């Protein structure tokens, strides 16, 4: 069987994976809701597919591997909601399936450590929806499913530098607040390794080695840019959107030992300092 990866939700993390796989000779099919993005996707060597739309089931039947990055909505998982029967039909023929979830499924641990054995106790609507989606995908018979719980994603085009340069960055201070992070390059490398050595039923946390308070990351970005330290603002007094504020509802530090041990994975950017330095270097070379 050839190597054909079908991706539901060709977004930021999926693009990083495709950049690794296409040069290796993989056929990658990626769905998008945007007609405008079809040409852009095709130019990267990926077969674009508008979804919802036609030909999805036919092309899904040609896949050897399946990746789901599309997040759940108010009605549940959008892929299963629309295509559960088609997914069940192809499940036994797939060599590997991956679902990108979030470390938000663990809930709040007051800055304590969590790993894949930690019971799921999401406290936000987003986290609860992800936990429900994980369960729905697990329930599909004969699907060789792997679940990847991602920490906060950053990478090219997603980092703190623009706000620091614009002078709009703030160091939001909340006592005991820790976030784990993951560079998008390291997500792609872990998925690639998993696809090379499937272990259906496996769950992996993908994060770097250095959970840190968010204000430390902003401060380091300013230091790298040689700009003044952004002002500190107490969390209770900060002018934040409900979405931004909700991220501070949970504080935890996430372990990645299982992915390292089982996949032989090592993050290229094991902390935010190395990751931010690489982003800045890339900006200078573009």
Length of the chain in residues, anyone?
286
- Beta bridge mates, 4: 27
Between CA 166 and CA 168 the distance in angstroms is: 5
Between CA 70 and CA 60 the distance in angstroms is: 16
Six-digit token pair at 279?
A: 């982003």
Between CA 148 and CA 258 the distance in angstroms is: 11
How is residue 155 annotated by DSSP?
Answer: B
Residue 120: CATH number of its domain: 3.40.50.720
List the domain range (segments joined by +) for residue 99: 4-154+181-209+252-268
Six-digit token pair at 109?
A: 């641990």
So what's the pLDDT on residue 232?
95
- Whether residue 73 lies inside any domain: the answer is yes
- Whether residue 16 lies inside any domain: the answer is yes
- Whether residue 205 lies inside any domain: the answer is yes
What is the pTM (predicted TM-score) of this model?
Answer: 0.95
Six-digit token pair at 214?
A: 């968010």
- Whether residue 59 lies inside any domain: the answer is yes
So what's the pLDDT on residue 286?
58
Six-digit token pair at 41?
A: 């996707």
- Whether residue 223 lies inside any domain: the answer is no
So what's the pLDDT on residue 245?
86
- Beta bridge mates, 152: 181
Among candidate residues 132, 127, 223, 105, the one with its CA nearest the CA of residue 169? 223
Residues of the chain with pLDDT under 70: 1, 285-286
Between CA 274 and CA 186 the distance in angstroms is: 12
Question: For residue range 161-218, what is the model confidence (pLDDT) as tens digits?
Answer: 999 999 999 999 999 999 999 999 999 999 999 999 999 999 999 999 999 999 999 9
How are beta strands 232-234 and 152-154 bridged, if at all?
unpaired
- Whether residue 99 lies inside any domain: the answer is yes
82 by Cβ neighbours in 10 Å (0-12 / 13-18 / 19+) ranks as middle
DSSP conformation letters of 65-86: EEEE-PPPBTTB-HHHHHHHHH
Q: Where are the alpha helices (DSSP H) in 91-168?
A: 125-138, 161-166
- Whether residue 281 lies inside any domain: the answer is no
Among candidate residues 137, 135, 105, 110, the one with its CA nearest the CA of residue 121? 105
Question: For residue range 145-157, what is the model confidence (pLDDT) as tens digits?
Answer: 999 999 999 999 9
How is residue 93 annotated by DSSP?
Answer: G
Look-up: residue for tokens 């499924």? 105
51 by Cβ neighbours in 10 Å (0-12 / 13-18 / 19+) ranks as buried
Q: Domain count of the chain?
A: 1
So what's the pLDDT on residue 55?
78
SS3 172: strand
- Whether residue 199 lies inside any domain: the answer is yes
């Amino acid at each position: 069987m050839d190597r054909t990866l079908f991706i539901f939700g060709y977004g930021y993390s999926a693009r990083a994976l495709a950049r690794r796989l296409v040069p290796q000779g993989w056929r990658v099919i990626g769905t998008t809701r945007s007609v405008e993005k079809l040409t852009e996707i095709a130019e990267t060597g990926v077969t674009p597919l508008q979804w919802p739309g036609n030909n999805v089931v036919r092309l899904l039947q040609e896949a050897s591997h399946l990746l789901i990055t599309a997040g759940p909505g108010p009605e549940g998982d959008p892929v299963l909601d629309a295509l559960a029967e088609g997914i069940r039909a192809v499940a036994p023929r797939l060599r590997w399936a991956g679902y990108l979830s979030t470390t938000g499924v663990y809930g709040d641990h007051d800055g304590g450590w969590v790993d894949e054995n930690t019971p799921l106790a999401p406290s936000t609507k987003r986290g609860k929806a992800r936990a429900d989606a994980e369960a729905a995908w697990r329930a599909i018979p004969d699907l060789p499913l792997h679940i990847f719980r991602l920490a906060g994603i950053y990478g090219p085009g997603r980092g703190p530098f623009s706000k620091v340069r614009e002078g709009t960055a703030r160091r939001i201070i909340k006592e005991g607040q820790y976030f784990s992070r993951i560079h998008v390059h390291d997500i792609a490398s872990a998925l690639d390794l998993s696809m090379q050595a499937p272990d259906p039923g496996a769950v992996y946390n993908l994060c770097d080695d250095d959970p840190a308070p968010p204000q430390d990351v902003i401060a380091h970005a300013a230091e790298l840019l040689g700009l003044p330290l952004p002002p500190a603002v107490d969390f209770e007094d900060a002018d934040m959107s409900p979405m931004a504020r909700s991220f501070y509802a949970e504080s935890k530090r996430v372990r990645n030992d299982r992915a390292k041990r089982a996949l032989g994975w090592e993050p290229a950017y094991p902390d935010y300092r190395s990751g931010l330095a690489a982003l800045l270097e890339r900006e200078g070379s573009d």
